[in-house]
Amino acid sequence: MKIVITATKPQTDGLVDPRFGRAQYFILMEAETQQWEALENPAIAQSGGAGVAAAQFIIDKHVDAVVSGDFGPNASRALGGADIKMFLFSPEVDTVQSAVDLFKQDKLQQFK
């Protein structure tokens, strides 16, 4: 399963980024093998439509789920349309790794 976590730094021990459309980085991870790569968010400097641009970027990576702090109406419509599941950070989440761990334990709430 391929997941994306929004992050402030291009590494898994950095803090998560609560924003989706304007997240600094996307950490793309294969949940089973924990292999990951950091991608810069191409939408970060957009004056408008950052949510849709970021969603398109994620959709084109064919991921299964995204974990972030919140999803705007446009981003969630696009991601939902592509059958990508959305999950929200819980208060315990600080680093990207902690988000991955909680996600794998099924402890994160799904965004609907």
Partner 1 sequence: MKPIQIAVASGKGGTGKTTIATSLALSLAEKYHVAYLDCDVEAPNGHLFLHPEFNTSTEAVIRIPRIDKNRCTLCGKCVEVCQFHALAKVGKTIMVFPQLCHGCGSCTWNCPEHAIEEIPNPIGVLESGKARQDFHYAHGTLTISEPMATPIIRQLKRLEIPPQTAISILDAPPGASCSVVETLRGSDFALLVTEPTPFGLHDLGQMQGIVEEMRIPAGVIINRENGDYLPLLEYCTKHHLPVMLRVPFERRIAEGVARGQTLVEIYPEYRQCFLDLFDSIAVLANQ
Residues that bind partner 1 (CB under 8 A): 43, 46, 48-50, 52-53, 55-56, 59, 74, 77-78, 81-83
Q: How far is Cα 64 from Cα 92, in angstroms, rounded to an integer?
A: 23
Q: Which DSSP string corresponds to 11-48?
A: STTSBB-S-STT-SEEEEEETTTTEEEEEE-TTTT-SS
Output 78 or 86, the one with its CB closest to partner 1.
Answer: 78
Output 58 or 96, the one with its CB closest to partner 1.
Answer: 58
Q: How far is Cα 50 from Cα 22, in angstroms, rounded to an integer?
A: 7
- Residue 51 CB, nearest approach to partner 1 (Å): 8
Output 73 or 91, the one with its CB closest to partner 1.
Answer: 73
